[in-house]
Structure 1
Amino acid sequence: MTEIGTEIGGDPDNRLLAAAVAGDRDAFGELLRRHYDRIHGLAWQLTGSRADADDIAQDVCCTLAEKIGSFRGEAKFTTWLCSIVFNACRDFRRRRRSFGGFAERLAVLTGLARTPDGRDLYDAVWIKSAIARLKPAYRDAAVLVAGQQLTHAEAAEILGVAEATVSWRMHEVRKLLTAEQGSD
């Protein structure tokens, strides 16, 4: 276990994190400002809905206020944060299914980049559509690795699977997307 005050893989948030863990509200607020776009973006990628992402991001911010004191530096802060967002999205999907049986919306990459300017609109629509059609296990791995730029090990930790499983899933995603692009 790494002490929070020391470098955690070169984490630029170390000082703020140590202060937030110790109860410094200003440091916690600055961490939220720095990482809100990541929280909202991942929620949007996983739900495909800006409105749902808004709700989930708000819930995650409240959860972080409760959980920041339990951060022990066993993973990078961003990995720990992504796992909280991922679990919030998973819980949201479970609640949605149990309340109304709504079909899960899978527009995963919405919000990843700036609004398409026309030159890449076709590509953006194709990627969004292709990722949305992946099986949930593949989609989740792709969102964490490609969308959030986590390592396979970090994604594996969040997904609760072996690193080799994430590597295999990413290989399958590349294979499926390449095959699909070739059939267009």
Structure 2
Amino acid sequence: MNSPPEIPPGAEQMARSSLSDADLLLRHIGGDPHAFSEIVKRHRDRMWAVALRTLGDADEAADAVQDAFVSAYRKAKSFRGEAAVTTWLHRIVVNACLDRMRRKSIRPVADDELIEAAERDTPIPDHTSDREVSLEVTAALKLLPPDQRAALVLVDMMGYSVEDAAQVLQVPSGTVKSRCARGRAKLAPILSHLRNRTDLTRVSSAKGAKLRDG
């Protein structure tokens, strides 16, 4: 009796990497011990970027992403295919971030405090690097209520359409637009010194495009 042909080293991994996210999730549900690891490998960088920009703290972001992937691993059977797997993952990550912010009971900064902070700030010089601008934007985002921050991160920093962000946040598109508008209005006075150098959308869209392409 002939022995079954040997599978070349790495062939199984190559075959797995060619599967769609939805197929990998089905294989994970079916008991494939490596399928979910492939999903994590594909999307962890983007999920990390969302968490880091939403929370503004590397340790908190790492914990949120870990919590989110553990939750996704356990709740894979709840995925109904009504949205892309990436949208489903984003939703879990954003919810993990919002839960962390709400548990900390961070008080949103009032509008008059934002104005006072802007008046105290010294304008940065024109040679400010994109990294420094990004750090300032991240710090300013911490002043927003969680819902506005999450909407701005997805739309202005990660480059998602309002419709895609609405799917992630599970709210109407109009709500996303409203949250973004209110968030931008609150950030305007504190980031006004960046206006001649760059702006939130320009800094974020370039980074968002890089993440989507990568």
TM-score calculated relative to the size of structure 1: 0.69
**Which amino acid in structure 2 is aligned with residue 95 of structure 1?**
R
User: Once the two structures are aligned, what percentage of the paired residues are identical?
Assistant: 35
Partner of 2:167: 157
2:151 maps to 1:137: no
Q: Distance in 2 between matches of 1:168 and 1:105?
A: 17
Residue pair 1:13, 1:31 contacting (<8 A) in 2 also: yes
**Which amino acid in structure 2 is aligned with residue 75 of structure 1?**
A
What displacement does 1:176 show? Answer: 5.0
TM-score calculated relative to the size of structure 2: 0.61
2:110 maps to 1:95: no
Q: Distance in 2 between matches of 1:138 and 1:168?
A: 9
Match of 2:89 among 72, 78, 81: 81
**Which amino acid in structure 2 is aligned with residue 62 of structure 1?**
V
Matches within 5 A, 1:3-22: 12-22=20-30
Gaps of 5+ in 1: 1-10, 98-102, 107-117
2:100 maps to 1:70: no
Residue pair 2:52, 2:61 contacting (<8 A) in 1 also: yes
Partner of 1:52: 60
Q: What is the aligned-residue RMSD (CA, Å)?
A: 3.0
Distance 1:55 1:164, change over 3 A: same
Gaps of 5+ in 2: 1-18, 110-127, 195-214
The superposition leaves residues 69-127 of structure 1 with CA deviations (integer Å, 9 ceiling, x where unpaired) of 22111011111101111111222233334xxxxx4799xxxxxxxxxxx7324422332
What displacement does 1:153 show? Answer: 2.3
What is the count of residue pairs matched by the alignment? 158
Residue pair 2:55, 2:61 contacting (<8 A) in 1 also: yes
Residue pair 1:16, 1:27 contacting (<8 A) in 2 also: yes
Distance 1:13 1:160, change over 3 A: closer
